[in-house]
Every structure is written in C-alpha cells, then in structure tokens.
Chain A
Amino acid sequence: DTAVSQTPKYLVTQMGNDKSIKCEQNLGHDTMYWYKQDSKKFLKIMFSYNNKELIINETVPNRFSPKSPDKAHLNLHINSLELGDSAVYFCASSHLGYGYTFGSGTRLTVV
C-alpha cells in the first residue's frame, strides 16, 4: 500500500500548456503539502492544507493553484507553464505535527 502517491511520476510538456499533478494519501493525516525542489536540491514549501483549509500559501506565481477536494487529496494545477517551472514537485502529508511522509515526487520538464 502506497502511503502518499502522486501522479504522474514524470511529466514532459510544452511551454504554455496547463497541467495537473495529483496527490493522495491513505494515512488518515490531517495536513497535506506541496513542495518544490529547487536546483540546489532545497525543499521550498508552496502550499499546505489542513482539513481542506489552506493554511500555508507561499509566494508562488498565481499560475499555481492547489485544490483539496477532501482531506486525502491535494492536487496542484499549473497554468501557462514556463521553462522555469521545470523541477521536482513533492507532495507530503503529516498529522498533528508529526513526521512528514513524502510522495515519490513528480519530475516536471517544460520544453
């Protein structure tokens, strides 16, 4: 059983396209996150939802929009993709501030 699963694992797309990355957790955690791994391998928080409520909304372009239909899902939609959006995006979940469980990552390549 995969605890935090994100799809797709790889995504290659052209500039200007709109794409979505999906994330689901089956751990019963109350909080989910999207992170972007930058070129120096640093994890940068983008968004966080707690029980479907947006609690962290970092300074990211408004082309990025998270959507949490329920506690177990947090999807990331990206409009008008740009070359600089190429990165690995990690979904994670946690409960009551305990250790995060990360998904396996989505490598997005914009060409």
Chain B
Amino acid sequence: ILNVEQSPQSLHVQEGDSTNFTCSFPSSNFYALHWYRWETAKSPEALFVMTLNGDEKKKGRISATLNTKEGYSYLYIKGSQPEDSATYLCASLRAGNNRKLIWGLGTSLAVNP
C-alpha cells in the first residue's frame, strides 16, 4: 500500500473500556511512524514517533506498537476516560521523501461518561 489507512474510522466506548485502533502504512523504504492526538478546536499533538520494528512506546494509559515488516501499528488506550475523546492520527515517513509525512484520515474516539 502507498497510503496510510486507519481503522476504525470512528469509535464510541464507555468510560473505563480499553480500546485499540490500527494504522496500516507502506512498509517499503520505512523511516518512521508518527501518532498524534487531535482534540476538537485544538491543534494536533505528537504522541509517539516510532522507528524500530517491534518497538513499543507508552505514555500514561496510551501505548503503541510497531511492525515495520508488515506495515502496521496499533494504538492502545487502557481504561478510556472522557478526556481521551479526540481524533487519533497516524502518519508515515518514508526514507528519501523530503520528510513528507503521509497522513491517515484518523480514528475519531468518543468516550461516554
């Protein structure tokens, strides 16, 4: 694949539920995979930048894994809270592409109290 695809497009969960989303990206010429959190009426905020196959990163209740050989990354949120409601974007950076990120369309998460 040459595009970055995210699934699901949107997700509604109850407070306390754990959830995960998928990002598929081009595995050829892989350089880095970015995850961003974008709250409504704000600007995207970087969560993780991952470069190594098998890498796993964690920030509080949010963690991410990376498989560069098959071209996918998972984002996990443990014990979702209403303040986790946001759009989660992933973006792929390929080597020799002038640092041009290829963005997915995001997964919109709504956490109901």
Contacts and interface: CB of A to CB of B under 8 A. Distances in A.
B100 A48 contact: yes
Nearest to A90: B43
Given A45-B100, A48-B99, A104-B43, A97 B32 contact: yes
B43 A102 contact: yes
Chain A, interface size category, equals 20 to 34
Contacts of B47: 99
Interface of B: 31-32, 34, 36, 42-49, 87, 89, 93, 98-101, 103, 105-106
Nearest to A91: B43
Contact of B98 (A56, A101, A102, A103): A56
Interface of A: 31, 40-43, 45, 48, 50, 55-56, 90, 94, 97-105
22 contacts: A40-B105, A41-B106, A42-B103, A42-B105, A43-B44, A43-B89, A43-B103, A45-B100, A48-B100, A55-B98, A97-B32, A98-B49, A99-B36, A100-B34, A100-B36, A100-B44, A100-B46, A100-B101, A102-B44, A102-B45, A103-B43, A105-B43
